[in-house]
Amino acid sequence: MTSSIAQSTRWLDATAQAELVASGEVSAAELVDAAIERIDAFDEPLNSVVIRWFDDAREAAVEVDRRHAAGEELPHFAGVPTLLKDLWAHSIGHPMTNGNAGLRDEMPISTYDTTLVTRFRDVGLITLGRTNSPELGSLPVTEPLSFGPTRNPWSTDHTPGGSSGGSAAAVAAGLVPIANASDGGGSIRIPASCCGLIGLKPSQGRITMGPDRDESGLGVHFAVTRSMRDTAALLDATSGPGVGDNVIAPAPTRPYVDELGVDPGRLRIGLLAQHPLGEHLDPECAAAARAGAALLEGLGHDVSEAHPEVLEDAAFSSRFMAIWATNMALSVEACSRMIGRDLTEDEVEPVNWAMAQFAQHMTATDFAGALAAVGEYRRSMQSWWADGWDLLLSPTLSEPPAKIGEHLAQPGDPMAGMKRAAQFVSFTPPFNTSGQPAISLPLHTTPDGLPVGVQLVAAYGREDVLIRVASQIEATGCFQLPGGTS
């Protein structure tokens, strides 16, 4: 049993919770305590929050309430509880493990903030702890051997997706209204689809990866949310370059919150409602995409079956593997530096150890060839939008949420989980490679009650278009969110 505040605020978005604090109706301390109550009451069967620093969160809430009492102007999300993903999101004075067993045992304490974490704090969000992540973010489910699987609040037999599955499960369960997420191959959009949430992957270079990661890579950091107004406001607060960034997305012409409710005009939208490589696509996912297309047509947009031909390039994933494996090897080395010694084979999960070892046998020419393939792919993909298309509409995933355990390594086959992942995830990785912004929207539920997301992809740098169209869809009341539709 939770308190009345914990119950009444459970399904409010972050903006609504912040308004309670700003009006004085609820204090930041009460809001944080309510989130802690919900975590204690509801998280045990989900296993979404694996590292907790509740005392520090309560101290931060007291400071917000002091500033409010003194009449100081508060930032947009002042007093709102949130969670950080346990993957490359350093928070000064707090542990981070990246889902790795060796780091879990030693719990290294971060001595600095990732720039995005500083921006979360500056906009008033109060972090309660860390959410579960697959080790080093390598799989699209959240089942690390270090902490065990996170389960989907809609059905605990199923995955919440990954790699931001802990964050998505926490938001979908109403523990917090907004949570940090990151996306190197779909890891914001995949769990958003699995958990019935909004998941925006920003453009490459929209949000700094500073101070110690690289904007030219595949990964971007942001969040999963319950509303487009939270998505837009957080993007305003966290976007923009950091010191030394090597990719910087074009600056928006106005704040993203000003795009909410703006008529996007009649857009030319391509529909991809079949697997681009001719492989299996679950009928529920195809139905979700077609229903999304009908909705957009009803809103006045021009939708026709079309997609970039480069999505049919079956050979690309093998050419790309050199980059993925090299990134894994570098991640294992970075984790070793965090604890001051080399991680051993029994401290790294088989799939990640196998990829890291594979990288040791590649040549510089192999890696350079993979980078060249990425460049060619990016230009080919983005040319479709340059030729006059505004958006691409597709399923987010090839199937509804998978069962827990389907992505585990098998004896003698450490890559079994990665092979299973290739079946599960077809529509998200291409846009990490191309660097384009993409969003998963909660528009469908299977007869069994499992969420299925629909993905929209815009031209590079055009998050404004995604926010206009997504808020237009949101206004129809069609979002099928946990705790109730929009």
> Which residues are known to be catalytic?
85, 163, 187
Contact by Cβ (8 Å): 239, 27: no
Residue 229 Ramachandran class (φ > 0 left, ψ -120 to 50 alpha, else beta): alpha
Contact 232, 475 (CB under 8 A): no
**The Cα angle at residue 31 between residues 478 and 192, in degrees rounded to 5:** 35
As a whole number of angstroms, the distance between CA 361 and CA 118 comes to 38
Instruction: Give dist(CA 279, CA 319) in Å, integer.
Output: 20
Tokens linked to 285 = 């996912």
E-strand stretches of 255-387: 268-271, 302-305
- Beta strands 179-183 and 220-225 are antiparallel
> DSSP state, 209?
-
* Side chain identity, residue 77: F
Q: What strands lie across the sheet with 268-271, from one edge to the other?
A: 179-183, 220-225, 198-201, 438-445, 451-458, 391-395, 268-271, 302-305
For the beta carbon of residue 198, count every other beta carbon within 10 angstroms: 28
Asked if 114 contacts 129 with a C-beta cutoff of 8 angstroms, the reply is no
DSSP assignment of 53-93 equals -HHHHHHHHHHHHHHHHTTPPPPTTTT-EEEEESSS---TT
List alpha helices for 123-244, DSSP H.
165-172, 189-195, 228-238
Q: Are strands 198-201 and 220-225 parallel, antiparallel or unpaired?
A: antiparallel
Distance between first and last Cα of the chain: 26
Do the beta carbons of residue 46 and residue 156 sit within 8 Å?
Answer: yes
CA distances from 121 to 61, 79, 202, 307 (A): 12, 10, 20, 40
